[in-house]
Amino acid sequence: MKTEYLSDVMQAWRRDFHQHPELGFQEHRTSAKVAELLTEFGLEVHERVGGTGVVGVLQRGNGPRAIGLRADMDALPIHEQNGFAYRSVNDGVMHACGHDGHTTMLLGAARHLAEKGDFSGRAVFIFQPAEEHGQGGPAMLADGLFDRFPVDEVYGMHNMPGMELGSFATRTGAMMASEALFEIEIHGQGGHAAMPHRGVDAIVVGAEIVSALQTIVSRKLNPGLNGVVSVTDFSTDGQRNVLPGRATLSGDARALNRDTNLEIERAMRQIVEGVCMAHGVKGTVKYETIFEVLVSAPEPTLKAARCAASLAGERRVDTEYPPILASEDFAHMAKARPGCFMLVGNGTQAAHSRPLHSADFDFNDKLLVPGSSFWVSLVEQELHGEGA
């Protein structure tokens, strides 16, 4: 593996990031350390791109092509339950998704390529804030990411617990779902619990809507299409003996293509309007798509799979990985430029197969070398030629 000699230093970086996690757009310490290291490596460094984002540019030779490599930096609002020495010192904030490892792998690749890279062209290292809420990618793009740092293709990578350590998986086409957040307001007529006929109980209306929303996927979508509609909160202004006149339902909808997402929204508005009309009350729907569908383009996906196979062997590269209904805001970058999103196995041992976003998750340090070596190999494969 190309970066094996950096194993110890990458582990130290990763554990430092893990111990000092920061939420989206608050990654001040993290981005400062990333910028400091990139400067030490000799890269051209740009800070505060899209808020707390950092971009490092490495030019070698006269090659005309450029590729972007992206890692996310933010943590989650979770109380860590691990007991090891490098657990979070920021109470209620934790790297429970492995972004500490993603940042470290890209830093390791940047150092190796700056010192020993055999390529001709431009490698753009993108350290993105605020992935967890889908805001960091759009913020960097709005700040002129690909206008200021043009690339022909862009690549992202994420660890996957329970997948064989150092194995790879991707697919052409829709790989991860869009996410839309919805809020449904029901305005009924409150009243005395002993005299329900004198009002319109918003709980009854809301419960009917909750049940009807489940028919969107089961009865209104083409069975060959995937989607999820989940009501995750139901609140009212009712009391012990007071029927509520107001209810709020909120939740989350996922889809693997834009038309499915639009159909979910259309059906939701139709259901709310119909149920509320039947009960003689008013209902409103707010529906906001936060994450786009993540689509891996054919040519970049083929290139990334070829690179992964050169490192791990073809048997350990799955190019037909099933789509995932989780969301990832790399989708915004892959929409702006042809791209590929690669999953890499975090391991099958108990310590490294706990679910993402769980309070006892930890990124596997043994993945740092394979992951950073993948980035190095991809740059040298796609920007092939003599070094500077």
Structure tokens at 133: 């809420």
Is 8 catalytic? The answer is: no
Q: Per 3-state DSSP, what percentage of the chain is helix, strand, and coil (rounded to 5)? A: 40, 30, 35
CA separation for the pair 203, 234 (Å, rounded): 9
Ramachandran region, residue 290 (left: φ > 0; alpha: ψ -120 to 50; beta: rest) = alpha
**Distance of alpha carbon 380 from its chain centroid, rounded?**
26
Task: Return the amino acid letter for 108.
Answer: G
Annotated catalytic residue within 22, 27, 100, 131: 131
| Strand boundaries in 264-338, DSSP class E | 282-291, 294-296, 317-318
Task: Given the residues 22, 27, 72, 74, select the one marked as catalytic.
Answer: 74
Cα torsion angle, 31, 36, 38, 44, sign: positive
Please indicate whether residue 233 is annotated as part of the active site.
no
DSSP H or E segment with residue 11: helix 7-19
SS3 102: helix
Q: Round to whole Å and give the CA distance between 6 and 98.
A: 19
DSSP state, residue 339: E
Question: Six-digit token pair at 213?
Answer: 């929303």
Tokens of 57: 């540019």
Report, as residue numbers or ranges, the catalytic residues: 74, 131
